[in-house]
Amino acid sequence: MRNLLMKVNYDGTNYDGFQTQPQGNTIQDRLEQAILHLTGEKLKITASGRTDAGVHAYGQPFNFTTSSRIPTERWCLALNARLPQDIVVTEAREVPLTFHSRRGAKRKTYRYTINGNRFPDPFQRRWQLHHPVKLDIPAMQQGLTQIIGTHDFTSFASRRSTKTSHVRTIFEAHMEVDRSMCRPSSSDQGVIHTYITGSGFLQHMVRIIMGTLIHVGEGKIPADKVAEILAACDRSHAGPTAVAMGLALWSVEYDEIESE
């Protein structure tokens, strides 16, 4: 048996998240179907984590064991020929049988994108939350810094979370503003990217953080109150859950992985 580690990019707009569902409309379902068509093996892949319906990913790792002898360099093209155009496998390598995509992940980064320009971008509309009303970006940045560290993130977790512990560590969090698409002499604020890197994330955690920061940017919540919301460990204290389309899994990091 071989253990293959792959990375996949996908536009999650038309899917019910990564993890398999009874209706069969997930990224995992599509990948497993493609592998079945290629090798005849009905297997289950292991991903670095879940994504919600409508969430996207750049290079999400997944692995699976196979008895197929197809050379690693042929897997990407072979799978992509059997996948929808909005799911693309970009890397494949053989790793030790002990490797596990989820348990081995050390750091994950998510990116949330807000289009703060007056008009939406028709080319990026599936990947951005359009917010034409002015946001106080410095206040949002101030609020964002207050989630860095190890905390109980119950306030920023879905009420449906089944995790026994909501303690997570956020290593880094910052915002970048791209003003390249702003119209001259306009009220455009540019495209606001928020990057959050942590040891792991709870269901809806990044989207609730972003919904809270948007309320900060709108002046509905003072920036210095984010720490109080976090300490309350109560979902009702935080802002709304931001829409899924603006969220993408940006990267997953591991300790050095030996190749087989």
Residues making up the binding site for substrate: 110
Q: What DSSP string describes 2-68?
A: EEEEEEEEE-GGGSS-SS--TT--SHHHHHHHHHHHHH------EES----TT-EEEEEEEEEEE--
Of 52, 152, 188, 224, which is the active-site residue? 52
Q: Extract the annotated binding site.
A: 110
Contact 121, 114 (CB under 8 A): no
DSSP-derived secondary structure letter, 220 = S
d(CA 27, CA 46) in angstroms, rounded, equals 12
Length of the chain counted residue by residue: 260
Sequence letter at residue 44: K
Contact 209, 247 (CB under 8 A): no
Helix (H) or strand (E) holding 172: strand 167-178
- Strand bridging mode 2-10 / 56-66: antiparallel
Listed in sequence order, the residues at least 6 apart from 123 whose beta carbon sits closer than 8 Å to its beta carbon are: none
Known active-site residue 52 = yes
- Catalytic residue positions, numbered: 52
